[in-house]
Amino acid sequence: MSYVIDVYRNDVKAQKNPFTVAVYLSAFPQLIAGPIVRYSDIERELYERTETSDGVSRGLQRFIIGLSKKLIIANTVAAVADGIYVYVPSEYGVIGAWIAAIAYTLQIYYDFSGYSDMAIGMGRMMGFHYLENFDYPYSAATVTDFWRRWHMSLSHFFRDYVYIPLGGNRVSVPRWIFNMMIVWCLTGIWHGAAFNFALWGIYYGILLISEKKLLAKFLQKHRIISRIYVIFAFVIGWVIFRTENIKNLGKALFALVGGYGIGHGDVSAFTILKRAECGVFFVIIAILGIALSTPHGLFGLSSIRKKLFGTADEKILPTKKGAFYSGIVCTALLLICIVMLESGSYNPFIYFRF
């Protein structure tokens, strides 16, 4: 659709070679998982790209990092989230509800950004420079900022093909609210024709409208409150996103505010962690996941990351010593991933379900 629309608008020239169009269209069979690559992004590289040893090396590193995000972090926290959500909220209570919500929040980020890293890395190995799809969204200061950082290619897609054609913000306030709700309903339905996805889109539409018209000055003035608010906003958002019907959603949200106490019987969060035989490992991986989800990192991770790998935009390149050690790190990560693939069969890309 984006190719046809861009040709119609004269934003790109129609491609005369059907094989070149086929190369573009076959680049991402699972488009939903992103990054969404428009024809204009890679038009020149369809003809003029060059494959280099440095590109292959950096692309392979990016692929391994993405694979590690998926297998080491996302799968570990997913086992805990699924282990809790298999029960009803009245059984796992408030502690279980928050452990599951945080686990799923980490799972969906590392699952999705890991896939994007792998796609970007494979493209780089073949000479394509795909646009970044994530920019540390969990470090956002507001929900508006969150959506500038999360699945950026999807946000740009709806901005250029729905929001602006509807009139964007150059309209009356009622019409702007209408435009925003249309965009965010479609953003939700993009993930699937189900109530929870539509509700998730509406939820974000309401938050973004409220920020723009009511909360902007307050959030800008009170940065700590703003950070806490946005963390709660996206965690609650992922609970809505995951829950498949209204009745269960009401119970899940009730559990988060302590409506069922700490749970009862044999199904406390601690019992589930112990039963999963990954309680300590989960805590370590969850802390690591939280640390790596911020641009500044914790425990000096940001500085180490830049020395080893540079930055994604290549404005900062790794040092010579860093490049050597990054190779060792990536080799070790790849071996761990191979062992994890061999030892278990739980490797779903959750975004492929949508």
Indicate the residue type of 351: Y
Neighbouring C-beta atoms of residue 177, cutoff 10 Å: 16
The answer to whether residues 278 and 79 touch, using CB atoms and an 8 Å cutoff, is yes
The answer to whether residues 263 and 93 touch, using CB atoms and an 8 Å cutoff, is yes
Neighbouring C-beta atoms of residue 294, cutoff 10 Å: 13
The answer to whether residues 205 and 185 touch, using CB atoms and an 8 Å cutoff, is yes
Q: Which two tokens stand for residue 232?
A: 């709660």
Indicate the residue type of 205: G
Report how far Cα 23 is from the mean position of its chain's Cα atoms. 26
Nearest CA to 35 out of 351, 315, 334 is that of 351
Indicate the residue type of 134: F
Neighbouring C-beta atoms of residue 316, cutoff 10 Å: 12
List for the chain the helix, strand, coil content (%; round to 5).
70, 0, 30
Report how far Cα 351 is from the mean position of its chain's Cα atoms. 9
Query: 35: cis peptide before it, omega within 30°?
Result: yes
Catalytic residue among 129, 191, 222, 264: 191
- DSSP string spanning 72-141? IIIHHHHHHHHHHHTS-HHHHHHHHHHHHHHHHHHHHHHHHHHHHHHHHHHHHHTT--PPP--S-GGG-S
Residues whose CB is less than 8 angstroms from the CB of residue 233 and which lie 6 or more positions away in sequence, other chains included? 143, 146, 207
> Quick check: is 191 catalytic?
yes
Catalytic positions, written as ranges: 191
